[in-house]
Structure 1
């Protein structure tokens, strides 16, 4: 059964949660820890008379249980609450950065990571604007300079990137790079070929070539994430706009991204 069929089959139960502010707030609150009735009143801004019927419904659905004077999520309730929380975080992330998503080609992001796009909610969009002509580029170089390890997926190559990576490799920083076919062809030419040759004996440096073009640019380190995409239409790589984050969930998302592409 597909998602639509499941919704039709149990739509009332699903709608009851999303339609009711109180049910949603109770689940989200208990997802963070147990709560007394007085705490739920304070969190929701509602009276006991209004809250108690909602608690009874969640108990009847075996999503919450009461121990002593506190309410807890059941194991099934925890799964539901996590799903509700994830859906709101996903919608919020899409809405927060809607212009970034609408203007860029998203098909280069693997499907499993599109489903986890909410991990990027604590991010910011940086742009080249006014006097900050190289704002995105300079921030990416700063990420490379401050990293203790570097994983990268590259759709472009510049002298600045190459020099920064070379310097970090020679300092002993572990670096793994995946490049697209057209970037690999550029790396065969001077001055990049000489830079690659100078790094061939460094065991902390790995350079991998994807058997097809990669429509993303990714830098993920122990401290930061940078994500760049192609502009809508899948023709031009956008070097003037990027998503940046120092949030641990975003960094983990970037590491999973790199591992998926590396596995290919």
Structure 2
């Protein structure tokens, strides 16, 4: 049975929740913790007369239960409420950054992480504009300078990035980098070769290569996330626009993307 068929069979129950502001607000509020009726009145801005029939319906559907005049989600209710909350956050994140998503190549981001795109809702889009032609680059260098550990996926390489990373490695900061084949080949040439070779004896530095084009630029530290993508056609890397976040969920999302790519990469063994 596909998703559409399931929806058609469940349409009354599913649509009832999304169609009713009160049912949705009750589930979302209880998803954050148990509530008493006066609290639900305050949160929803509704009367007891309006709330009680909705509460009884959710009880009849075994999504909530009451104990000593306090309403709780049941185990099934927690699953439903969490799914509703996630769907709203996902839609909100897509809408908030719709121009960023529409103008960039998303095909290299794995489906499980696209489904978790709502983790990026507490982010901001930075651009290179006017006199701030190096806004993205300077923010990334600042991230690297302030980090206690660094995970990176590099679709392009610059002398400034290499110098900044080298400095942090020599300071003892754990650094793990993943590069595609074309960047790995570039690192074999001047001025990068000597800089990379100088790091070969540092146990806190790991360099890995993927035998496919990643089409993602990622820096994840203990404090911040930076995400750059290729432009819509998937040919040109966009250095002028990036997504940045201090939020822990966004950082966790970036770490999951890094670990996914790391699972497909091979360590470069220095000679």
TM-score in same-fold range (> 0.5) = yes
Within 5 Å, give how 1:54-65 maps onto structure 2: 54-65=54-65
CA RMSD of aligned residues (A): 0.5
Within 5 Å, give how 1:20-169 maps onto structure 2: 20-169=20-169
Compute the displacement of 1:11 (Å): 1.2
| Counterpart in the other structure of 1:222 | 222
Distance 1:158 1:43 in 2: 51
1:54-110 CA-partner distances (Å, limit 9, x unpaired): 000000000000000100000100000000000000000000000000000011111
Q: How does the TM-score come out when normalised to structure 2?
A: 0.97
| Counterpart in the other structure of 1:8 | 8
| Counterpart in the other structure of 1:176 | 176
Q: Any runs of at least 4 consecutive aligned residues in structure 1 with deviations exceeding 2 A, and if so which?
A: none
| Counterpart in the other structure of 1:213 | 213
| Counterpart in the other structure of 2:269 | none
Distance 2:89 2:153 in 1: 26
Distance 2:66 2:197 in 1: 66
Compute the displacement of 1:12 (Å): 1.1
Distance 1:43 1:222 in 2: 35
| Counterpart in the other structure of 1:200 | 200
Distance 1:50 1:154 in 2: 55
Compute the displacement of 1:31 (Å): 0.5
1:129-188 CA-partner distances (Å, limit 9, x unpaired): 011000001000100010000000000000000000000000000000000111011001
Secondary structure of 1:199's aligned partner = coil
Compute the displacement of 1:4 (Å): 1.0
Q: How many residues align?
A: 264
Distance 2:32 2:196 in 1: 49
Q: How does the TM-score come out when normalised to structure 1?
A: 0.99
Distance 1:118 1:61 in 2: 28
Secondary structure of 1:81's aligned partner = helix
Secondary structure of 1:253's aligned partner = helix
